[in-house]
A = this chain, B = another copy of it.
Amino acid sequence: MSKFGRRDDKDLMGLLVEASTASLADANIGGKDIDAIYVSSMLSGELSHQTATASALADELSLLPAAADRIENGPASGGSAVKNAYAAVASGLFDTVLVTGGEKMRHVAGATVTDLLATMTHPTAEYMQGATLPSLAAMFTRLYMERYGVEPRHLALVAIKNHRNALKNPYAHIHREITLEGIYSKPEAELNNPVVSDPLRLYYSCPITDGAASIVITSAENARKFSDAPVAIAGIGQATDTLAVHQREDPTVLRAVQISSQRAFDMAKSKPKEIDVAELHDAFEILEIAESEDAGFFEKGTAHKAVEKGVTALDGDLPINPSGGLKARGHPVGATGVAQIVELTWQLRGDAGGRQVSGAEQGYSCNFGGFGNNVLSFVLKRGD
């Protein structure tokens, strides 16, 4: 991974190179072994005025004539790139593939970023009415509060947990402990934690982040050549849902999370209760709660209680977002799906330092695109 954060020191290509070279070094692999490159980036054209970014990265890394494609799938771009790289290897087209996701977002105004991110919503039913991702998330949060008794306090607890985890992640964007008093219960919390889109507040939403993340995928047979501790992509699931959120029978149910996770578990011959560590897509803190239910870890409407009991804390029964999640590791959009796989890989190898989930053998990640209309789920297993 590159360091996530405000990275005025590098452009998008510089971030992609930083993560890619780290990944190649970690994989103990030379450029000649890379047959293909996948780059995931949602907004490289819009924010960096550069297209066909994967071709450029192939040249920058001296990996010519490796094949190179850019995948754009909104916030699920990273997961889509990992899926296509997996298929490229599994099909026999390529032996060893580099996947690097990245986004450079902080050099433009926040309102510009919010507008460009909203281009993933329904163009007439949502975008043209002024809907943005924060406003959709706010309505989703409100429904969740009314239906299941979630309170803003629970959103604060998720954020506090993820900020705490990120303190132990040197690559995280935000290294700052936050407290329930500071963002929720003390009188000054209203000022510290201003409204973004009621009932969403600043600390219930992820920041805008620059950064990149990278992995190397090869066949199971090949993996042993490069690593003593390979990690297997055991299951992949992907599913779409209606683009317009209001068209869903029950907007609080994330069907694409349900279907994609079920497919990933089936392919991996695994179950939610076998998972030791999970990376979920908390672009908004309510999403960590909802995804943890629809992926099958908790009954619908109960995850906020699990958060309260510490079940999802680093020392709980199911640690969620040990990396700090999108909330505190940050959310460079095209990088996120890849960064989740990086974190799970470190966890399954026992390389996660102070945030290590002890004895982790299986990990799950959920990369949530659009407002839940395109979701990828992965199950990773520690190699034997």
Contacts and interface: CB of A to CB of B under 8 A. Distances in A.
Contacts of A91: 86-91
Contacts of A270: none
Nearest to A373: B55
Nearest to A46: B45
A43 interface: yes
Majority DSSP secondary structure for residues of A touching B: mixed
B74 A52 contact: yes
Interface string A49-77: 11110111011100111111111111010
Contacts of A45: 43, 45-46, 72, 116, 119
Interface in A27-59: 36, 42-43, 45-46, 49-52, 54-56, 58-59
Given A74-B52, A87-B91, A369-B55, A239 B46 contact: no
A179 interface: no
A173 interface: no
Contacts of A244: 59
A374 B42 contact: no
A236 interface: yes
Number of copies: 2
Contacts of A60: 243
Interface residues of A, number: 61
11 contacts: A50-B119, A51-B74, A52-B72, A52-B73, A56-B243, A59-B241, A59-B373, A68-B374, A69-B73, A69-B84, A90-B91
A50 B119 CA distance: 5
A152 B87 CA distance: 45
A187 interface: no
A166 interface: no
A80 interface: yes
A242 interface: yes
A354 interface: no
Contacts of A322: none
Nearest to A56: B243
Given A52-B74, A55-B74, 8 more contacts: A45-B116, A49-B123, A52-B120, A54-B374, A59-B242, A67-B238, A68-B238, A71-B71
A302 interface: no
A255 interface: yes
A73 B241 CA distance: 26
A172 interface: no
Interface in A246-290: 255-256, 259
A366 to B, nearest CB: 15
B72 A51 contact: yes
Given A58-B240, A67-B238, A80-B69, A51 B119 contact: yes
